[in-house]
C-alpha cells in the first residue's frame, strides 16, 4: 500500500463537494496540497479547514479550469517553486440534463469546456513534468455513472464523462512505463453542491421533487474521498461508488439484452417524470 505523506497533490474543484472532502482528507494524511476552484470564497474556506487541522496547503489559486492560460500559469508557478506533482486529481465539473432539442449551442460549449477541456488542461499542463521527473505518480479523474452508462437526458454530460473514461484507459497503459498509475472514479448519487447548481431543462417543481428523491439515495462526499484515497493506495483503475450502478455495468458488459430493457424503462420513466412526450 502506498504512503501518501508529503506527496504533492493538486486537486481541482476543491471549494465544494467531492474535491473539498478529498482535499481535507488528504490534508489529514500529511499530503502537500495545491488547490484550485473557480469559487474563490469557498476555496478559502477549504484552505482554512485544512490549515486549522494542521494540514499543508502549498499553493492555492482561483481560476476557471476551462481557461488554458490560467492552468498553464498555475502549472508554471507550481513547477518553479515546488517541482513536479506526485498526484493530480481532476474533480471540477458541472452538470446539465436536457433533451437534445431543448439545448442551445452555448449549453454544449459550457459543459464541454469545464468537464472535458478542464481535465485536458490539467493533464497537458502537469503530466509531462511528472513524466520528466521520473518519480512515478498517480492521476485520478472524476467521471460519473454517466461515463459508463447511457443515462437519459445526459447527452452532453455523458459525452464529456465517457471521454474521461476513454482518456483514462489510454493513459493507464501509456503511462505504465513511467510508473504513473491512473484511476477513474464513477460516482452514483453524491450529496454535494452539484444538486443546487445542476441545470435541468424541465419543469422546476418536478425537478425539485426529483432532486429530493436523488438526495435520499445519495452518499456523502467524504465517503467518495475515502474511495479515491483507497484507489490511489491500491492502484485501482475504475471505482464505481454505488452497488446498483456496478450491477447495471455488469449487465452492459455481460448481458446486453437485460441492460437494453432496463435502459428503455429508465428512459420512459424519466420522460414521464419530466413530462416530456412527443
Interface residue with ligand NAD, options 11, 35, 37, 151 (CB under 6 A): 37
Residue 90 in contact with residue 142, Cβ under 8 Å? yes
Binding mask 218-237 for ligand NAD (x = CB under 6 A): ---x----------------
Tell whether the torsion through CA atoms of 141, 219, 196 and 159 is positive or negative. Answer: positive
What is the rounded distance in angstroms from the CA atom of residue 212 to the CA atom of residue 273? 14
Residue 75: Cβ within 10 Å count: 21
- If binding is defined by CB under 6 A, does position 34 make contact with ligand NAD? no
For residue 132, what are the contacts with CB-CB under 8 A and spacing of at least 6?
84
Binding flag, residue 114, ligand NAD (CB under 6 A): yes
Question: Is 94 a residue that touches ligand NAD (CB under 6 A)?
Answer: yes
Q: Find where cell 478529498 sits.
A: 22
Q: How many residues does the chain have?
A: 278
Q: Does the protein bind ligand NAD through residue 141 (CB under 6 A)? A: no
Q: What does the per-residue mask of binding to ligand NAD show for 143-182, with x meaning CB under 6 A?
A: -x--------------------------------------
Residue 142 within binding range of ligand NAD, rule CB under 6 A: yes
Which residue do the cell numbers 515546488 mark? 82
Shorter beta-carbon distance to ligand NAD: residue 215 or 255: 215
Stretch that binds ligand NAD, among 32-40, 78-86, 121-129, 228-236 (CB under 6 A): 32-40
Position 65 contacts ligand NAD (CB under 6 A) = yes
Residue tagged active-site, from 157, 173, 254, 259? 157
Q: Does 192 bind ligand NAD (CB under 6 A)?
A: yes
The residue behind cell 452555448 is: 106
> Closer to ligand NAD at the Cβ: 207 or 261?
207
Task: With beta carbons less than 8 A apart as the criterion, state whether 88 and 123 touch.
Answer: yes
Can you tell me the distance from the alpha carbon of 136 to that of 113, in angstroms, rounded to the nearest whole number?
29
Please spell the DSSP secondary structure of 93-158, one letter per residue.
---EEB-GGG--HHHHHHHIIIIIIHHHHHHHHHHHHHHHHT--EEEEEE--GGGTS--TTBHHHH
Stretch that binds ligand NAD, among 22-30, 49-57, 92-100, 268-276 (CB under 6 A): 92-100
Q: Is residue 88 close enough to count as binding ligand NAD by CB under 6 A?
A: no
| Alpha-carbon gap, residue 141 to 186, rounded angstroms | 9
Cβ 171 to ligand NAD, closest distance in Å? 17
Please identify, using beta-carbon distances, which residue of 230 and 275 lies nearer to ligand NAD.
230
Query: Whole-angstrom Cα distance, residue 262 to residue 34?
Result: 42
Q: Which helix (H) or strand (E) holds 63?
A: none
d(C-alpha 95, C-alpha 93), whole Å: 7
State the minimum distance, in angstroms, from the CB of residue 151 to ligand NAD.
Answer: 10
* Residue 157: active-site member: yes
Q: Write each residue from 5 to 24 as x if it is in contact with ligand NAD (CB under 6 A), else as -, in one continuous string.
A: --------x-xxxxx-----
Q: Which residues are catalytic?
A: 157
Binding residues for ligand NAD, rule: CB under 6 A, are 13, 15-19, 37-39, 64-66, 91-95, 114, 118, 142, 144, 187, 189-190, 192-194, 197, 221
Amino acid at each position: 500500500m502506498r504512503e501518501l505523506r508529503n506527496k504533492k497533490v493538486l486537486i481541482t474543484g476543491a471549494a465544494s463537494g467531492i474535491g473539498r472532502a478529498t482535499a481535507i482528507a488528504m490534508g489529514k494524511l500529511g499530503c502537500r496540497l495545491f488547490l484550485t476552484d473557480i469559487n474563490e470564497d469557498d476555496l478559502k474556506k477549504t484552505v482554512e479547514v485544512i490549515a486549522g487541522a494542521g494540514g499543508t496547503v502549498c499553493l492555492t489559486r482561483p481560476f476557471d479550469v476551462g481557461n488554458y492560460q490560467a492552468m498553464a500559469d498555475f502549472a508554471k508557478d507550481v513547477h518553479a517553486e515546488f517541482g513536479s506533482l506526485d498526484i493530480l486529481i481532476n474533480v471540477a465539473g458541472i452538470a446539465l440534463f436536457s433533451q437534445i432539442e431543448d439545448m442551445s449551442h452555448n449549453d454544449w460549449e459550457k459543459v464541454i469546456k469545464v468537464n472535458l477541456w478542464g481535465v485536458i488542461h490539467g493533464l497537458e499542463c502537469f503530466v509531462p513534468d511528472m513524466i520528466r521527473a521520473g518519480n512515478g505518480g498517480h492521476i485520478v479523474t472524476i467521471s460519473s455513472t454517466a461515463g459508463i452508462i447511457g443515462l437519459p437526458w445526459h447527452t452532453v454530460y455523458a459525452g464529456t464523462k465517457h471521454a474521461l473514461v476513454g482518456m483514462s484507459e489510454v493513459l493507464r497503459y501509456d503511462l505504465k512505463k513511467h510508473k504513473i498509475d491512473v484511476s477513474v472514479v464513477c460516482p452514483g448519487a453524491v450529496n454535494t453542491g452539484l444538486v443546487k447548481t445542476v441545470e435541468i431543462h424541465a419543469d422546476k417543481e418536478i425537478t425539485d421533487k426529483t432532486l429530493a428523491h436523488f438526495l435520499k439515495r445519495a452518499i456523502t462526499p467524504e465517503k467518495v474521498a475515502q474511495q479515491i484515497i483507497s484507489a490511489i493506495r491500491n492502484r485501482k483503475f475504475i471505482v464505481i461508488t454505488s452497488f446498483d450502478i456496478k450491477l447495471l455495468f455488469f449487465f452492459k458488459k455481460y448481458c446486453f439484452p437485460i441492460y437494453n430493457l432496463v435502459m428503455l424503462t429508465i428512459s420512459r420513466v424519466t420522460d414521464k417524470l419530466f413530462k416530456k412526450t412527443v
